[in-house]
Amino acid sequence: MPDTNPVLEFRISARYGAREVLCNVEGRIGTREIVALVGLSGSGKSTMALSLLRLLRYRGGDVNGSIRLEGGELMGRSDREMRAVLGRRIGYVPQSPASALNDRLRVETLLAETWRAHSPAIPPAGTFARLLESVHLPAGRDFLSQRAGQLSTGQGQRLLIALAIMHKPALLIADEPISALDAITQASVLKLFQQLNQRDGTAILFISHDLLSIAQISHRVEILHEGRIVESGPPRELFRSPKHEFTRRLVEAMPRVPRDEE
Ligand SMILES: Nc1ncnc2c1ncn2[C@@H]1O[C@H](COP(=O)(O)OP(=O)(O)OP(=O)(O)O)[C@@H](O)[C@H]1O
Ligand SMILES: [Mg+2]
């Protein structure tokens, strides 16, 4: 079970110009906890991820409130101070791999640069090969010398996951990390998240539309609707007896594998 000590505690509001998208949203993620964030398209999930990373202004938004990571307040920190946190204490898998990777850079360069950004030491032998293997990517010369622009969406997504977990962050924020992947790779990425959580103690904010995957890996689910968290709880309880009308609709829309007699 996850510890109750929070890795992250926040209470934030976020807006784009006059339009408020998150309204006093409160939350906490415990050490070793996997929290899933669910909501309709456009409900503000990516806005919440970018707000917690202090990156929302690059998308034209503004955040107010408090964000405490491992006890330290992030609001008010400079870009330089945030660079010491992002990629090291918080890993981030953005929603669109295509725009997140520099198309012209080779896989080996992306790996080396991400390593160097946060560590002056030379990576121990085999570090990158093990990392690529953990996300089911090949570690041979052919793949290492490919440019990011030549990767498939799914390969790009897995490379982003590898880069995000390279420095074993205390918290991983993953914005729809499996939506571009085939079923087998999805299952392996979910397993990887569970391993990271159980073996390395990484807490995870897992943003997804896939309720079955959420039920499989998360300790707690938060339902975001119209700018507020309307319901929260362990996935089994929440999906079995949803209290809020919106959660009920979500659960009813959940796909079921048809049985023979149906
Ligand atoms: N740069 C922006 N300027 C103005 N409005 C924006 C901007 N970015 C997002 N929005 C609006 O904010 C709302 C929340 O967007 P957000 O991307 O956070 O949704 P989401 O829950 O991640 O959706 P999805 O499931 O489709 O990824 C949407 O209504 C969107 O149109
Ligand atoms: Mg989004």
The packing angle between helices 107-118 and 153-165, to 10°, is: 20
CA dihedral 191, 192, 193, 198 (to 10 degrees): 90
pLDDT (0 to 100) of residue 74: 98
Counting from 1 in the atom list of ligand 1, the atom nearest the Cα of 48 is 18
Placement of tokens 């919440």 in the chain: 48
Could you report the average pLDDT of every consecutive run of 10 residues in the chain (262 residues)? 80 98 96 95 96 96 97 95 94 85 94 93 95 93 96 90 95 93 88 93 96 95 95 95 93 72 52
Buried/exposed 159-187: b ≥16 CB within 10 Å, e otherwise: bbbbbbbbeebbbbbbbbbbbbbeeebbe
Q: Strand runs (DSSP E) across the chain, as ranges? A: 6-16, 19-30, 34-38, 62-69, 72-73, 90-93, 171-175, 203-207, 220-225, 228-233
| 208 CB within 6 A, ligand 1 | no
What is the identity of the amino acid at 49? A
How close is the Cα of 22 to the center of ligand 1, in Å?
A: 10
Atom of ligand 1 nearest to the CA of 44: 18
Domain residue ranges of the chain, discontinuous segments joined by +: 6-252
Give yes or no for residue 124 CB within 6 A of ligand 1: no
Closest ligand 1 atom, CA of 60?
Answer: 1
pLDDT at residue 259, as a whole number: 59
Residue nearest to atom 28 of ligand 1 (CA): 42
Strand order in the sheet with 171-175: 90-93, 171-175, 203-207, 34-38, 220-225, 228-233
Q: Is the CB of 58 under 6 A from ligand 1?
A: no
Alpha-carbon distance of 218 to 222, in angstroms, equals: 10
Q: Is the CB of 258 under 6 A from ligand 1?
A: no
Residues facing residue 68 across a β-bridge = 9, 73
Whether residue 115 contacts residue 87, with contact meaning beta carbons closer than 8 Å, is answered with no
**Residue 32: which of 218, 186, 182 has the closest Cα?**
218
The pLDDT value given to residue 215: 94
pLDDT for the residue 188: 87
Two structure tokens written together for 166: 């390279």
Q: How far is CA 157 from the centre of its chain?
A: 12
Q: Are 64 and 13 in contact (CB under 8 A)?
A: yes
Asked if residue 44 has its Cβ within 6 Å of ligand 1, the reply is: yes
Task: Indicate if ligand 1 lies below 6 Å from the C-beta of 43.
Answer: yes
CATH 3.40.50.300 fits 6-252, yes or no: yes
Please work out whether the CB of residue 45 comes within 6 Å of at least one atom of ligand 1.
Answer: yes
Q: For position 184, what pLDDT does the model report? A: 87
Instruction: Name residue 12's beta-bridge partners.
Output: 25, 65
pLDDT at 261: 55
Q: Which residues pair with 25 in a beta bridge?
A: 12
Q: Determine if the pTM surpasses 0.85.
A: yes
